[in-house]
Structure 1
Amino acid sequence: MTETAFNPAGTVRNAVHQMDIRNILQWLTSPAAPQPVDELPILRSHLQALREIQVTSVQRAHALDRMYKRGMRVIACLLPSLTRDLVLPVPRKTRRIVNGVLGLLQMLADDMLALLEESSLARPPELALWRSLQALAQQLMISHLIACPAPTGAWQQLHQTYARARRLQVDTAVPRGTSRRLQDVYYSAVLLGCAQPTSLTPQEVLFLADYFERFSDQVEPISTELSVTSATFWIDPARDVAAFSALRKLSRPTAPLDCFSCVRLCFLLRAQIAQLDAGISAPELNLPDFAGTSAGRGVLGRLATRWSDLGKRRFIRRRQNHRALLGSGIDGLWHLGQKGAPASVNVSTWMVTNESPEGYAVMHVSGNTGVLSVGNVVAIRTDADQNWQVCLVRWALSENPEHLELGLQILAPKAVPAILAQPSHDTGTEYLRVLILPEIPKLRSGQSLVVATGTLPKEREKLLLLIEGDNVSVREVSRTGIEEQTGSVEIMSIAPIQNPF
C-alpha cells in the first residue's frame, strides 16, 4: 500500500492565501468610505498584500484591474479638496494626504508594469502600459500642484515606460475602455513639465493638465538632426528629469535623445487666444471653462510666448545671503505704501539667495507668510534699499512644510497706493484698493495699475483714481492695454485723460 505525503504547513499556507484574495475581492465590492482619504491606507495595504500572497496570474490581474479603477476614483474625489484654498507652504496634514496619494500611484504604476512579466497572462500589453503611464502622469501632476519636486525616479520611469510601449509598437494604440493613445498620455505629462509648473498656481496646473489632455496630439516627434527652435525639446530617457529646451546645451547624453516640436501647438494656442479675445466662448473651442477667465487667457498667453520666443537670460544672477522683509497682496502693499503703515501689516523675514537687476530668489526664514501664491504681488525691502520694491511672484518651490522658496520679478522700485472708485447703479459706488506703478525709462513708457483679478469690468475704459498724499488728488485715466494677467492680479497700462476745456 502506497502512502501519500501530506504537508500540513503548505495546506494551511495555501488556505491563508485564498482567504487573503477573498478578503481583497470582498472589500472591492464594498461601498466607498464616506471620506475618500480613509480609502488610501486600505488600498495601499491590499496592494501590498497582493504582492506577497501566491495567487494565479488571472486572479492578480482581476484584483489589480478593480483596485486601479477604485484608486483612480478616490484620487479624483480628493483632488478638488486638496487644491481648494491651497496656501504655500502646504500644511502638514495636507502634505500627509498628498504623500499617501503619491505612494498609491507609485504602487499602481509598478504593479501594472509587473503584470507584463506574467508570462502566463495572455492579454495585449497596451492596457497595463497605458495605466502605468497614467498613474505616473498623475503622480507628476500632483507634485506640481503642491510646488514640490517630482518623486525620485518618476520622470525616468515615465520615459522608460513609454520607450517600452514604442518597442512593443503599441504607443499609438487606444486600449479598450480608454479614450487616448499611450503617446498622448505620455506627451500630456511631458508638456506639463515643459510649462514650468513651478510658475503656476494649483488651479492653473489643473487647467493646463486638462488642456494638454485635449491637445497633446499637436506635438510632433522630430529627428534630432533637424534645426531647433524655442519650441523644440529634447528628452533623455536615461535621466530622471523632464524635457529640456533644445536651445540649452546638454552634457553628453548617456542614451539616444528623443526630440519633439511644439510649433504646431504654439500656432493653435495663438489662434485660440485670438478667438477668445474675439468673444468666442471656451466650450465652443473645446477648451476648459477656465480658459474663458482672465487668468486662463493669461496662462495660455504666457505659454505661447515662452515657447515661441525663449530668449537667453539677460542678466547674470549673483549669489547672496542677506536678509530682507516681505509683504504680500494688494492690501498689504497698499498699507506699506502709506506713510504710516499700521503695525498689523503682515511682514515676514526672508533670505535673498541670489539676485539680478530683474529680480530675486528668496527663501523663507521666519514670520507669518500670509497668503502667498504664484502670480500675486509682493513688496520686498532689503538692507541696501529702504524702499519697498514691488515684485511679481514668478515661481514657488516647497519641499516640506518648513521650506518655501520664491522667484520674484521686479515690477517697480515703489508703488503709489490709490483708491479706484467704481460707480454702480445697483450697489452704489464701490471703492477698491489698487497700486499705481510709476513710469520707468527704457522699460515702461507709462504708468501701470495693479488690481485684483476679476474686480474691474472688461468694458470699463475710464477709471477714477483717488490718491492720498499731502493732499487728496483725483485723477481720471483710461486703460490702454493689458500687461499681465494672473489668477491673483491684473496689471494694465494707463494714460491720463486730457480735459478738453
Structure 2
Amino acid sequence: MTKTAPNVNDASGLPADSQAILNWLESPSAPHPAEELPTLRAHLAGLRQTPGALQQRAVALDGLYIRAAAVVGRLVPTLTERALPVAPKTRRLVRSIVDLLQVMADETLALVEQLDPQHQPSVHHPSLSPTLALWRSLQASAQQLMVCHLIAAPSRVGAWQQLHQTYATAQRLHLAAAVPDGLDSSLQHVYHAAVLLGCAHPASLTPPEVVFLTSYFERFADHLEPASATAAASPGTFWIDPTRDLPASSSQRKASPQTASIEYFSCARLCLLIRNQIHALEAGTPARRLDLSDFAESPAGLGLLRRLLARWSGSGKRRFQRRRQNTRTLLAAGLDNLWHVCRKGESTATELSTWMITNESAEGYAVMHLSGKTGALAVGGVVAVRTGSENEWQICIVRWALSENPEHLELGLQILAPSAVAAVLAQPSENLGTQYLRVLLLPEIPRLRPVELLVASAGALARRQNRMVLVIESENLSIREVTSTHIDEQTTSVDILSIEPEHDPAE
C-alpha cells in the first residue's frame, strides 16, 4: 500500500465533514481492527456527498484509504480458519471487510473520473494522481476477491467485471504500465496477479494456500504473457471477456465466445518458473533464496506448486461426463474418523453427516450438505462416502468447496479408491523410540492404478523414510514391510504415497 499520508496542515478552511474525517484519522487506532470497520465504511460512503473542493475530498480520501488498508492488512491473517463451513462470526467479519473494500474501490475509481489524466499532482497533493487512484481501486477489488476465497465463498456479484473494467480504464488512459510514486508495482501487475489467482481455481485452495498464492503472484505476475487466439490450443492459455462478470477461463476447458473484446494470455513462462522452483526446492534450496515464503518449502507448499503446474500444463479437459443425481449418501470426514470406520464399521464413526449427490462421474462426485455434523472437513482432506446400495466406503479427497452461507456447503470429491484398510505404521526413532501412526492403505485399481497408496496425516511421516513397517489387524494380525516409491500428493491435511512390497536384496 502507498505510504502517503494526509497533510493536516492543508485542512484549514475545510468543510466540517472533511475536518471531522481528518480529526478522526489523527485519533489512535482501536484495540481491535474490526472495531474500525463501521466508522471507515461510513466515512468513505459519505465522502462523496461532502461539500468542498475536489482537492479537499481527495486529501480526506487519501487518509481514509491508508487507514482502511492498514485495518484490512491486520485482519486478513486472522481469516485462516480451515474447517468448513466457516463459523458465522468469521463470515460476518468477512462481509464487513468486503463491504469496506467495495466502497474503497468505488470511491477511488470515482475520483479518477474527476481528475485530468494528464494532471501531475504537486508534492503537496499526491492524492490527486489518477494513476494512484486507479491503482488503489484495482488493489481494493483484488483484495475483495481474495478475501472471499479465504472462506470458500463466491465473489460478490459484479466484482470481476469491476476489476476488468477498472483495468480497461487504465489501458484507455495509457496508465496500465505506470507505477505510482511510493509503490513498487504497476497497475498491470496488480491486475495480472488478481487474474492469476482466479486461474488457480481458488475453490480448491485452503486459506493458507490462498494467502501463499496471493503473495506468489504479487511477486511473479510479470511472467504472464499476452497471447493470440491462434495460441488458444496451447496448454496454460486463458481468455478474458472484460464485459462479463467472470474470471479468466482456460482455452482448453472452455471455448471463448466469438467477440472482439476477448483477451488471451499464456502461463507457459510462469509454468517454466514454477517447474524450476520445484526442482530447486526438492534439491534443498531454501525458499527465501528463491524469493518465496517459508510455506513453499513445506510438503504442503511443494504439493500446491505441483498441483498448479499440473493444472496449467495439462490439457484441462474432463475425462468423464458428469451425470446429474439426487441420491443421498453418508459422509465421514477426517483421517482418524475414517480409520475407525474402515476398521470396525459405521457404528464406530464419531461423526457422520448426510449429503445429496448432485452430479457424479467415474472420477468423483459433487455433493451438497443436508444434515448432521460435518466434522473435520477441509479442502485437501480425505473423506469416505457410502450410499444405501453399497457395502464399502469409498475413499475420496476433497478437491473443492463452495459455501454461500453458514447453512450451505458443496464439495467436489475425487475418488481415490473403492475401499480402504486401516493400518498402523511403525516408525522407529532414535530419540523417541518406536512411534505408531494410524494410516489408510488404499488397494491398487486394475488398469487405472497398479500400485497401492498410503494415506497419512500431513507431515507425520519421517522425511526420506523409504522402508516402512505396516501392522494390519483384521481376522489375523498381519505385518508388512513396504517401500515408498513416489509421492502422489501432499496437501495441508494428508500425504499420499505410492508403495510396493519391500524386496529382499538376497532374492
The answer as to whether partners of 1:238 and 1:254 remain within 8 angstroms in 2 is no
- Residues 17 and 55, structure 1, Cα contact 8 Å, conserved in 2: yes
1:308-323 equivalences under 5 Å are 308-323=313-328
Aligned residue number for residue 41 of structure 2: 44
Shift of 1:422: 1.3
Q: Which amino acid aligns with 2:139?
A: Q
Q: State the partner residue of 1:493.
A: 498
Specify the SS of the correspondent of 2:485: strand
Cα distance in 2 for partners of 1:299, 1:230 equals 19
Q: Alpha carbons of 1:409 and 1:258: their partners in 2 closer, same or farther (altered >3 Å)? A: same
- How many angstroms apart in 2 are the aligned matches of 1:491 and 1:299? 13
Inter-CA distance 253–399: structure 2 relative to 1 (3 Å threshold): farther
* 2:416 match: 411
SS at match of 1:480: strand
**1:78 to partner: Cα distance:** 0.7
- Kept after mapping to 1: 8 A contact 2:337/2:349: no
Q: 1:280 aligns with which of 272, 281, 285?
A: 285
- Partners of 1:398 and 1:255 lie apart in 2 by 35
Whether 1:298 and 2:295 are equivalent positions in the alignment is: no
> Match of 2:124?
none
Does the residue aligned with 1:324 lie in a helix, a strand or coil? Answer: strand
Give CA deviations for 1:285-310 in whole Å, capped at 9, x if unaligned: 11121110111111111111111112
The residue number in structure 2 matching 1:11 is none
Q: Which residue does 1:5 correspond to in 2?
A: none
How many residues were matched structurally?
A: 486
Secondary structure of the residue aligned to 2:503 is coil
Q: Using a 3 Å threshold, how does the CA distance of structure 1 residues 248 and 389 change in structure 2: closer, same or farther?
A: closer
Residue 138 of structure 2 is aligned to residue 142 of structure 1: no
Distance 1:169 1:340, change over 3 A: closer
Which residue of structure 2 aligns with residue 69 of structure 1?
A: 66
Within 5 A, what are the aligned runs for 1:164-243?
164-226=169-231, 228-243=233-248
Q: Distance in 2 between matches of 1:425 and 1:252?
A: 62
Q: Distance in 2 between matches of 1:413 and 1:442?
A: 14
Any stretches of 5+ residues in structure 2 without a counterpart? 1-11, 122-128
**Aligned residue type for 2:340:** H
Q: Which amino acid aligns with 1:409?
A: Q
- 1:273·1:297 contact (CA, 8 Å) conserved in 2? yes
The letter of the residue matching 1:423 is P
Code of the aligned partner of 1:314: R
Measured after TM superposition, the shift of residue 313 of structure 1 is 1.1
> Take 1:210 and 1:25, find their aligned partners in 2: how far apart are those partners?
32
Aligned to 2:8: none
CA distance in 2, matches of 1:340, 1:129: 59
One-letter code aligned to 1:235? I
Per the TM alignment, residue 249 of structure 1 is displaced from its structure 2 partner at its CA by 4.4
C-alpha distance in structure 1 between counterparts of 2:253 and 2:479, whole Å: 50
Change (3 A) 1:212 1:120: closer
Per-residue CA shift, 1:143-192, capped at 9, x if unaligned? 11111111111100101111111111111111012111111100000000
Is the aligned partner of 1:263 residue 2:288? no
Q: Which AA in structure 1 matches 2:42?
A: S
Q: Is the 8 A contact 2:151 2:207 kept in 1?
A: yes
For residues 15-54 of structure 1, the C-alpha deviation after alignment (integer angstroms, 9 at most, x for no partner) is: 9982222211111011110011101001011112212221
2:373 alignment partner, SS class: coil
- Alpha-carbon shift at residue 469 of structure 1 (Å): 0.7
Q: Quick check: 1:236–1:255 contact (8 Å CA) kept in 2?
A: no
Distance apart, 1:224 and its partner CA: 2.6
SS in 2 for 1:312: coil
> Which of 56, 77, 80 is the equivalent residue of 1:80?
77
**1:397 matched to 2:402:** yes
| CA distance in 2: counterparts of 1:330 and 1:458, whole angstroms | 20
**Secondary structure at the residue paired with 1:180?**
coil
Q: Report the secondary structure of 1:338's partner residue.
A: helix
Are 1:397 and 1:405, in contact at CA under 8 Å, matched by a contact in 2?
A: yes
Does 2:364 correspond to 1:368?
no
User: Quick one: which amino acid aligns to residue 442 of structure 1?
Assistant: R
Q: Give how far 1:58 is off.
A: 1.1
Structure 1 CA distance for aligned equivalents of residues 430 and 346 of structure 2: 34
1:362-388 deviations in Å (ceiling 9; x for gaps): 000000001211000000001221210
User: Contact conserved, 1:57 with 1:120, CA < 8 A, in 2?
Assistant: no
Deviation of the 1:86 alpha carbon: 3.3
- Which residue of 73, 78, 88 corresponds with 1:92? 88
Deviations 1:446-497 (A, max 9, x none): 1110011111122211111110011111111111110111111010011111
Give 1:102's match in structure 2, choosing from 94, 98, 117.
98
Q: Matches of 2:154 and 2:232 in 1, distance apart?
A: 31
Match 1:443 to one of 448, 466, 471: 448
Aligned to 1:7: none
Cα displacement (A) at 1:66: 1.0
Q: Is the 8 A contact 1:336 1:345 kept in 2?
A: no
CA 1:268/1:38 → structure 2, altered by over 3 Å: closer, same or farther? Answer: same
CA RMSD of aligned residues (A): 1.7
Aligned residue type for 2:106: D
Report sequence identity in percent.
Answer: 57
For structure 1, which segment, 425-434 or 221-230, has the greater mean C-alpha deviation from structure 2 after superposition?
221-230
**Aligned-partner Cα distance in 1 for 2:390–2:345:** 18
1:53 to 41, 47, 50: 50
Q: Please state if 1:460 is matched with 2:465.
A: yes
Separation in 2, partners of 1:318, 1:173: 49
TM-score by length of 1: 0.94
1:472 to 474, 477, 484: 477
Q: Distance in 2 between matches of 1:311 and 1:77?
A: 37
Deviation at 1:243, TM superposition (A): 0.6
Aligned to 1:28: 25
CA drift at 1:227 = 5.1
Cα contact 1:47–1:107 (8 A) shared by 2:
yes
Alpha-carbon contact 1:236-1:253 (below 8 Å) kept: no
Deviation at 1:343, TM superposition (A): 4.1
- Checking the alignment, whether the CA contact within 8 Å between 2:252 and 2:317 is kept in structure 1 is no
Q: TM-score normalized by structure 2?
A: 0.93
SS in 1 for 2:48: helix
Counterpart Cα distance in 1 of 2:366 and 2:489 = 21
